[in-house]
């Protein structure tokens, strides 16, 4: 019964549309762990970006005993998912993104160059594996983001605003100074 439920289970992603939220199946879990996750720029619409496939067959997945609540179940079942992959040899990630991942996630990369992601949020191996794959796709999406470079007219507009703000600050300062000067009592 449980294997049948696992084969039929799917994770849903809610994406806003004009008419509210629409359910769209993004990942499908099967008993052989064929999970496909897509990533692009963080917070962007996947249909507009070129999504990149995170192949689970290229990831090393291991399970161990989870900590926390769960009673006797925690002591009997290995539910904590640990997913790792070698960043330098991950040819499914572009080279510049791999370099950014190495720079930004130094604490998650071990001595052999593997990125290590763990999850023990759920009491289910499948949900924890999905959470790990989602974390990997978030790491990749974060490394994919391009920094914002303002155009010359934005720079000019910002400079004009700063100049106007400074002039107003100095004007208010002069007004406050005059008020304090007028409060003084002359002893002459």
C-alpha closest to that of 39 among 130, 135, 141, 131 = 141
* pLDDT tens digits, 144-161: 888 889 999 999 999 999
**Burial class of residue 179, CB neighbours in 10 A (0-12, 13-18, 19+):** exposed
Residue 93 has pLDDT above 60, yes or no: yes
Residue 68 has pLDDT above 90, yes or no: no
CA atoms within 13 A of residue 95's CA, in its CB half-sphere: 0
Kindly report which listed range (6-15, 89-98, 174-183) carries the lowest average pLDDT score.
Answer: 6-15
Residue 180 has pLDDT above 80, yes or no: yes
pLDDT at 187: 72
Contact 137, 54 (CB under 8 A): yes
Average confidence score pLDDT of the chain: 76
pLDDT at 69: 73
Q: Which residue blocks in 45-151 are alpha helix, DSSP H?
A: 72-76, 95-104, 125-144
Q: Which residue has the higher pLDDT, 171 or 138?
A: 171
Q: What is the CATH number of domain 37-144?
A: 3.30.160.20
pLDDT at 147: 83
Residue 29 has pLDDT above 60, yes or no: no
Mean pLDDT confidence for 118-132:
90
The percentage of residues in the chain with a pLDDT greater than 90, rounded to a whole number, is 43
Q: Is the pTM of this model over 0.75?
A: no
Band the pLDDT of 128: cuts 50, 70, 90: very high
* pLDDT tens digits, 71-90: 777 788 898 999 999 999 98
Query: What does the domain layout of the chain look like in residue ranges?
Result: 37-144, 155-181
Residue 16 has pLDDT above 60, yes or no: no
Mean pLDDT confidence for 36-62:
60
Residue 58 DSSP label: G
Residue 37 has pLDDT above 80, yes or no: no
């Amino acid at each position: 019964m449980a294997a049948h439920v696992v084969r039929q289970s799917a994770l849903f992603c809610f994406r806003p549309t004009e008419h509210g939220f629409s359910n769209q199946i993004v990942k499908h879990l099967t008993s052989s762990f064929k999970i496909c996750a897509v990533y692009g720029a963080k917070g962007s619409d996947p249909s507009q970006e070129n999504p990149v496939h995170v192949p689970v067959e290229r990831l090393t997945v291991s399970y161990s005993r989870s900590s926390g609540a769960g009673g006797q179940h925690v002591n009997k079942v290995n539910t904590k998912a640990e997913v790792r992959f070698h960043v330098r040899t991950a040819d499914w990630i572009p080279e510049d993104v791999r370099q950014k991942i190495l720079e930004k996630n130094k604490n998650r990369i071990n001595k052999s160059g593997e990125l290590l992601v763990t999850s023990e949020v759920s009491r289910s191996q499948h949900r924890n594996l999905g959470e790990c794959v989602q974390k990997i796709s978030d790491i990749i999406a974060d490394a994919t983001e391009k920094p914002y470079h303002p155009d010359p007219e934005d720079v000019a507009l910002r400079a004009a605003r700063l100049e106007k703000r400074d002039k107003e600050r100095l004007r208010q300062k002069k007004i406050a100074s005059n008020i304090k000067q007028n409060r003084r009592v002359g002893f002459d």
